[in-house]
Chain A
Amino acid sequence: MDTNFLVQTLSSIVAAATPVVLASIGETISEKSGVINLSLDGSIALSAMAGFAVAFTTGSVTLGILAAMAVGALIALIIATASITLRQEQVAVGFVLTMLCADLADFLGNPFVRKPGPSVPHLPISYLSDIPVLGPILFDHNLVVYLSMLSVAAAWWWIYRTQPGLKLQGVGERPESAFARGVDVSRLRYFYTVVGGALVGLAGASYSLSIKLGWSHRHTFGIGWIALAIVIFGGWSPWRVAAGCYLFGLLKALGSILQRNPAFAGVPTQVFSSAPFALMIFALLLVSSEGFDRLLALLPIRLARRIDRTIRGRSPGGLGKPFVQE
């Protein structure tokens, strides 16, 4: 295989992973604070539609992106209000919102279907993009793609290296203790859910304004569920979540190469489009099942422990549970 082709493929994987990276980092932040935003699949669709519609109408990509982020944040705010203040089941509210947003996106997006529109301009970073191999793979994209990479590093730094990040972890892990130490649990949960939602909105914008331009019916096909699964797969840690996203992108690219192989000519494309979801089940099986423990037990203990630590993470202790301060 020649290098040029390989570099091109890797570069397109990095670009294509943008929405998944942004959405799953947003979800990681929100779940780290203890709130599951299950609405991802609908949120991404609605914000992708809103982003494109605003950019199309105003001619401004920036306004489009901001609108998409606002939509994502607003949906997250509904989830936060319903689950924190009104004490409804997070998963239930999230699921209803998934369906509501998907239908709303179809309804409101109807006039914009298959219209050509503006997109985020290509912006190679000077000097960096000239580095052989790495340059074209990492630094020859647009601003949203860079933002997705930046969001990984920023989320990691904020969560694990700053004082407010420590509070964020506390609120998600042991809300009672955080509360006893004077942290306003509910307010922080509101805040991080909305911040995560804004990132999910940005993921939507990256879809319609950068990766798969424009808007159409089922435009963001199932990507939100994949992002939710990758957060679990990545053990709620930004780096591993990002690794999961790029791994997913790599497998998807391999899949489409396979699909072009004449041996699979008889297989309809729809079968291939369901493959990522089969992969999702296997990936979750790998990180969650006890069968995997038994496999690990066959290895020398030190190696087993290291593998276990690298590929598996623990969910935040207070994830999905309401916090009642009484």
Chain B
Amino acid sequence: MGSISRLKSILLNLAPVVLALLFTTVILVAVGASPWEAYRNILSGALESPQKIADVVAASVLLTLCGVGMSITFTAGQWNVGVEGQIVLGAIFATWVARNVLWPQVPVLTLMIIAGMLGGALWGTLAGLLKVYGKVHEIFGGLGLNYVAQGLAIWLIFNPWKPADGATMSGTDPFPDPAWMPRLGNLRVAPLAVILALIATGVVYFLLRGTRWGLELKAMGKNFRSAFLLGVPSTPRLLTAFASCGALAGLAGAIRCSARYGRMLPDISGGQGYLSLLVALLAGYRPQWVPLIALFFAAVGVGSPRLELNMQLDSSLGGVLRASVVLAVMLVGGWRALLARQRARRTAESPLSDAEVA
């Protein structure tokens, strides 16, 4: 009995993934492509060589930092969609340091990280201020700020930071050597970035679980009004939540331009902010699950360009797969809750039904 119900619960937990795969399979069949071939391409594109695995880890660092950050704002009941722009601002601030501070590597990188966190926190706080004092819903405030950040980045690249041979969408000149985050041999992953992401996960986990600040955020997320009435200083808590999430996103932005590209790009975050929102949703706002889910998402992301290379399919299938996993988790979760409610109602209605159900 015990092992059967455990098996059942494992199967039920896997059901959303199966459903999502089923959905993408139908899509693939519909466009006349071989699903097996497509999944094999994604998998081998993500895992075939140490370099690819390094890419997956590097991509998961960004998703982890932002996803963990968003666990903070989600705990407080806030939709910090502005993460995308907070990544960009972090990258902009870090780029400013890289271009203007000509020191040795250790102080330059330290300063870039601090500057990136500052930039992200600033942009996050702005969304928070718009929410608290402007009553602009954070989804719209954040989204608007994303596009503004994007415009700012492009303006910087096309004007003050223009490369000598003319500005293009491929970004600024490469940073001076000290501003490159050291990589692991010739693999495209920076160990420091991985360590920072893991530290961030641990710190946020502790802050949300073990501090008064985390408890107060949780109270606000559950019921904003009662938390306020019970004396939670909601405005400062909300702003610190936005600032901390922004700082982590900004750190991700600094890492992205320093460890991955070694320069500033117009599209430095490339939708990763929105993607990390899916990571945070799937993790159910629990930071400890974020790195694992981020790895899965990153693997799909690194693997799917193979579809374009080998099968002439658009790589956005990876995005379809990721989003449909999240959607399926919601639908299956809701459906199981619905069944449980109906069962409870039946039990309440007739005293005999206990035996019937068993």
Name the one of A81, A97, A280, A290 contacting B140, with C-beta atoms under 8 angstroms. A280
Contact A267/B133 with A88-B330, A93-B330, A274-B148 known, Cβ cut-off 8 Å: no
Listed stretches B191-199, B210-218, B319-327; interface member: B319-327
Contact A271/B154 with A100-B324, A107-B320, A278-B144 known, Cβ cut-off 8 Å: yes
Total contacting residues, chain B, CB less than 8 A:
50
Contact pattern, A 62-78, Cβ under 8 Å of B = 1, otherwise 0? 00000000000000001
Q: Which A residues touch B281, using CB under 8 A?
A: 92, 95-96
Contact B151 A275 (CB under 8 A): yes
Contact A103/B144 with A108-B31, A290-B133 known, Cβ cut-off 8 Å: no
Name the one of B79, B146, B313, B323 contacting A99, with C-beta atoms under 8 angstroms. B323
Q: How far is the CA of A111 from the CA of B312 in the complex (A)?
A: 10
Contact B278 A225 (CB under 8 A): no
Of residues 152 to 176 in B, which have CB atoms within 8 Å of A's CB atoms? 154-155, 158-159, 167
Q: 10 tightest A-B contacts by CB?
A: A86-B334, A274-B151, A103-B319, A277-B147, A100-B323, A106-B316, A288-B135, A281-B144, A110-B314, A274-B147
From residue A71, how far is it (CB to closest CB) to chain B in Å? 14
Count class of interface residues, chain A? 35 or more
Q: Which B residues touch A267, using CB under 8 A?
A: 155
Contact B154 A270 (CB under 8 A): yes
Q: Is A232 an interface residue (CB 8 A)?
A: yes
Contact B134 A288 (CB under 8 A): yes
Besides A88-B334, A95-B281, A266-B159, 12 more A-B contacts (Cβ < 8 Å) are: A82-B330, A88-B330, A92-B330, A93-B327, A95-B277, A103-B317, A225-B140, A274-B148, A277-B148, A284-B136, A288-B136, A289-B134
Contact A268 B323 (CB under 8 A): no
Q: Which B residues touch A102, using CB under 8 A?
A: 319
Contact A278/B338 with A96-B278, A103-B320, A110-B314 known, Cβ cut-off 8 Å: no
Q: Which B residues touch A271, using CB under 8 A?
A: 151, 154-155
Q: Is B145 an interface residue (CB 8 A)?
A: yes
Contact B320 A228 (CB under 8 A): no
Contact A106 B155 (CB under 8 A): no
Contact A91/B31 with A100-B320, A290-B135 known, Cβ cut-off 8 Å: no
Q: Is A87 an interface residue (CB 8 A)?
A: yes
